Amino acid sequence: MEQRIQELMLKGYCCSQIIMILGLEKLDKENPDLVKSMAGLCKGMWLGKTCGTLSAA
């Protein structure tokens, strides 16, 4: 999984997008629009604080 995370980071995905991609892959699904929308939660919603993925939960 660590290698997959690094792969996604090199493609320019942020943490919240990576978490979503990994979750979708676990379910054997794809949802590019959902992954794109997760960009709004990147880097603690761009404040550098609590992860945007956790905030969204």
Please list the pLDDT of the chain residue by residue as tens digits (57 residues). 899 999 999 999 998 899 999 999 999 999 999 999 998 888 776 666 677 666 655
Query: In this predicted structure, what is the pLDDT of residue 53?
Result: 65
Query: In this predicted structure, what is the pLDDT of residue 42?
Result: 82
Q: How far apart are CA 24 and CA 5, in angstroms?
A: 14
Query: In this predicted structure, what is the pLDDT of residue 5?
Result: 93
pTM: 0.80
What burial class does residue 16 get, using C-beta atoms within 10 Å of its C-beta: 0-12 exposed, 13-18 middle, 19+ buried?
Answer: buried
Question: Which H helix or E strand runs over 42?
Answer: helix 42-46
Query: In this predicted structure, what is the pLDDT of residue 48?
Result: 64
Query: In this predicted structure, what is the pLDDT of residue 43?
Result: 76
Q: How far apart are CA 49 and CA 34, in angstroms?
A: 22
